[in-house]
Amino acid sequence: MADNKNQHYVPKVYLKAFSPDGPDGKRLHLFNLARGQAILNAPIRGQCSRDYFYGQAPEVEEVFRETEGLYGCILRRLAEHDADVTSVLAPLRDIAYLQLVRTDKALGTAKHYFETTHNLAYAGRIVPPKDELPPDWVMASDAVEHWRSTVERLDDLASAVVVNDTPSRFITSDNPAVLTNRLYCQKMRRTDFGVGNAGAILFLPLTPRLGFIAWDRHSYQPVGRVRGRIPLRRSADVAVLNALQVLNCRDNLYFSEAGDVDALAVVARTASPGRVTDPHTFSVWVPDVIESGGIERFRRASVTEATQNDRRMILTANVHAVPSAWPSFLPFKRPVTAWVSDTAIGAMRESFAAKRADLKLIRRRY
């Protein structure tokens, strides 16, 4: 049985780092994106939580106890300004990935995928009881189990702590860990990437002055990294990273200084048009012809065929927001290297290519 009824999908230990009262604070400022309105001194207790969001499985809460306790220790380590932080980068990367998959926004994205594919698969049919969609808490707890089984997929990413030495401050949100991909968005003109694709970038603001970033080492070359830290001296870079919060949050942005309201409203108004409404695309395909050698080809189905054909294939793709600018401290390598095949798997990183000999991946330079 879970110990806590009210379960936070963004931990209180994380949100407290953005409190105007310091790391032990009980309040923070929020900006609601839909209303375009700031609420000052909101209690942290009620933010980013829901009763039994992950159900009542004690093993899920144990994951959170371990990672959140470790996160608190890491923040104290980062407060030592001259410390070499390379030893905490791997656990920070794992925590950032966990935060990516555990929020209400992530649950909504998963529900959109499962509900839509379920409806397309069973259109015109009776749904067997065993294939009914699971309740929300099952999807949310499954996301934690998915993190356990896939966290090693990010081991090959390089990473650093970003130190904000500008007059501007980092903001955060109710969906603070952001996965983006400059290689896909800018060079490939695609937005259907995931954590395993070449060009992946994972960012998590840690405090108004610190952030964590991980990146594909074959796609980008960081500028100024020393002992695990990258100093930021351009407010424009802070604005780029803050815009990622606007693009990816569910409802609320959080910030530490009441005097930042007007500047935050500008960032929100500027970045909001790039927000994604539908996180996936879907298409239904039906059998067309069988060629020599027994190869069966499918074609895109009409509306009628999609509901009447017993055999159907559903193709899906992620849709991510495309930032209008990218951080100057993480430029492309020359050249960028990725591994590709003629399948829908996309451009992969070297570590993934080594495990998928069946796909006949070849190296490509961009």
pLDDT in tens, 143-172: 999 999 999 999 999 999 999 999 999 999
Nearest to 6 by CA among 52, 75, 72: 52
| Upstream peptide bond of 335 is cis (omega within 30 degrees of 0) | yes
Counts for the chain of helices (H) and strands (E), in that order: 10, 16
80 and 45 share one domain: yes
* Mean of all residue pLDDT scores within the chain: 93
pTM, two decimals, is: 0.94
Q: Return all residues near 9 (Cβ < 8 A) that are at least 6 apart.
A: 48, 49, 50, 53, 102, 103, 104, 107, 140
Q: What is the mean pLDDT of the segment spanning 275-287?
A: 95
Q: What is the mean pLDDT of the segment spanning 175-204?
A: 97
Residue 337 lies in a domain: yes
Run of H or E residues at 255: strand 252-255
Residue 1 lies in a domain: no
Residue 17's identity, in one-letter code, is A
177 and 105 share one domain: yes
Give the model confidence (pLDDT) of 31-53 as tens digits.
999 999 999 999 999 999 999 99
199 and 294 share one domain: no
69 and 121 share one domain: yes
114 and 254 share one domain: yes
Helices 86-101 + 136-150 axis angle, to 10: 150
- The larger pLDDT score, comparing residue 16 to residue 125, is at 16
Residue 108 lies in a domain: yes
Give the model confidence (pLDDT) of 71-120 as tens digits.
999 999 998 877 789 999 999 999 999 999 999 999 999 999 999 999 99
240 and 339 share one domain: yes
Residue 142 lies in a domain: yes
Residue 19's identity, in one-letter code, is S
Tell me how far apart the alpha carbons of residues 100 and 78 are, in angstroms, rounded to a whole number: 21
Residue 157 lies in a domain: yes
* Two tokens, residue 303: 């509306």
What's the structural domain count of the chain? Answer: 2
Residue 26 lies in a domain: yes
Give the model confidence (pLDDT) of 224-247 as tens digits.
999 999 999 999 999 999 999 999
Nearest to 99 by CA among 13, 11, 164: 11
Per the structure, the complete domain to which residue 285 belongs is given by 281-316
39 and 132 share one domain: yes
Residue 38 CB coordination number (10 Å): 19
The confidence score (pLDDT) of residue 3 equals: 59
Angle made by CA atoms 269, 273, 278, in degrees to the nearest 5:
135
112 and 152 share one domain: yes
240 and 297 share one domain: no
Residue 163 lies in a domain: yes
341 and 206 share one domain: yes
123 and 186 share one domain: yes
258 and 213 share one domain: yes
Q: What is the mean pLDDT of the segment spanning 292-319?
A: 89
Angstrom CA distances, 227 to 75, 78, 163, stand at: 16, 12, 12
pLDDT at 333 over 90: yes
Residue 238 lies in a domain: yes
